[in-house]
Every structure is written in structure tokens, then in C-alpha cells.
Amino acid sequence: MTDRYAVIGNPIEQSKSPLIHTAFAQVTGQDIAYTKLLAPLGGFAAAVDVFRASGGRGMNVTAPFKLDAFAYATDLALSAQMAGAVNAMKFEGDRVLGENFDGVGLVRDVVHNLAFPVQGKRVLILGAGGATRGALLPLLAEQPAELVIVNRTVAKAQELAALAHQHQSGQVPVTGLGYEAVQGQFDVVLNASSSSLGAELPPLHPEVFAPGCLAYDLTYGKGLTPFLKLAQQAGVTRLADGVGMLAEQAAEAFAWWRGVRPYTAAVIATLTVPLV
């Protein structure tokens, strides 16, 4: 019997999830049907209820419903609790398991796909929203030398730094700063702010990029964003967008649902937009 899954959002037409999960099902031999579900604003719970009642097994969740999914889930994984948001759900009877795979997807893309170890490196992450919250524990698990969170509203960056210290088992220094207070050079600079969505340049000094640095924009499919252009002009040659993160978080969800983890290289190659 074919198992049903979906991605829910508003808008939803732009979602690559059906393409990705259908490809994963083909290469792993899994019998699933994966569709897009447009839910009205304010109608998330009702739409999910209908999908579950019709036999749906799980869902990916995209904007603007990740907070709705967080509230809807009955069982929240630590990753979801840290992110304060849910991007994948699994339905088991009356239970709704909520996960957030964005952070682990990001780290897997950086460390495995891009072959850029984080251990012992200085890491700078721009933004203090849900994407950064979700990335904290997976990044800290890689044991960087230091993690600095920078945000226009300094208090939010400091709040996330305190959260990281509260949950990490190691002793990685984590600091929350405003942009004007960032000092020194960093081996990994991650743009998790919303700047690239509006084609804006974050107020970052180009001297933060160390020689051999990796500059990574969590948005995908937008080519050379203002952030990546800034890094390129500063001499950075290792540039990446979030297409690998998209594929890797999808693979984590697929493995969670189906018990088999698909290879992601073909999907990443299909979705990659040249950084020009």
C-alpha cells in the first residue's frame, strides 16, 4: 500500500520537496506518494487533521507554519525545542512527533558534502532567528574553537548564546554580539539572517573572512547573494548556498519516516543554481 506524505505551506507552489522525496523514494525503492498541500493562513491544524484522517503518515512544514507545527505536535524532539519550530512531523496514532532537521542538514552539508571540518574553527553565524537556534546544537557537536552569533538586535544574539551554553555538554565559547562588535577573522561564516531574501547586504565588515574561509548562505537558488558577493570581493573562494542543506534536511526526514537514508548527491546536482 502506498504511504502518503506531503509538504504544507502558504505559498507552496515553489516547494522542491515533492521532487526531492520522489527522487529519494525511487532510489531507495520506497512506495510513497508525496504531494504539496496549500493551507489557508489560520487553517494549519484543520488541514493537518484532514490529511491525517485520510491516512497521511507524515509531513514537511515550510513557511509560515513552522510555529503552528510546533504547537500542534504532541511530542517534540530536542532539535525542535531548541529551534522553537517544527519542520517535519510523523503521525503515530494520536501522537504527532515533531522534529527540526534544518540544523543537522546544514552541518552535514558543510562537513560531509563540502568537506569543510568545523572542529577547531572559529565560526560566525549571522542572525538570531529560528535557523540559528536550530543550528546551535549540531554546530556545537562538531566542537568548533568558538561560535559567535551576531544580530542587529544584540539582546537576541545574547539570548541564543545563553541558550547554547545551557544545552551544550562541551565547553565551546559562544558569544552574542552586535555587528559593530565583531572582531578578528573567522574560518566559517554562515548567513542565517533574512538579508538574502530581500537581496540586502548585512552590515558585515569584509575583514571577518579569514584566508581559506567558507562563506555559506542558508538561502538557496538565488545565485550570488549580496552576502556571497561581499565574501567573494573579500577574496573568499569557498562559497556555498543552502541547496545542500535543503537536500540533507530532507534526507534526514525521509530516513526518520522510512528507516533508510538516501544519497543526496543527485538531488543536489539537480537543484544547484550557479553562484554567479
Q: Give catalytic residues, as residue numbers.
A: 66
Task: Please tell me what DSSP assigns to residue 208.
Answer: G
The residue type of 58 is G
Which of 118, 112, 116 lies closest to 147 in space, CA to CA? 118
Angstrom distance (rounded) from CA 218 to CA 267: 17
Angstrom distance (rounded) from CA 231 to CA 109: 19
Question: Which run of H or of E encompasses 36?
Answer: strand 32-38
Mention every residue, 6+ apart, whose C-beta is less than 8 A from residue 168: 136, 137, 140, 174
Angstrom distance (rounded) from CA 241 to CA 250: 16
Which of 170, 79, 71 lies closest to 118 in space, CA to CA? 170
Angstrom distance (rounded) from CA 74 to CA 164: 24
Instruction: Specify the residue for cell string 547573494.
Output: 225
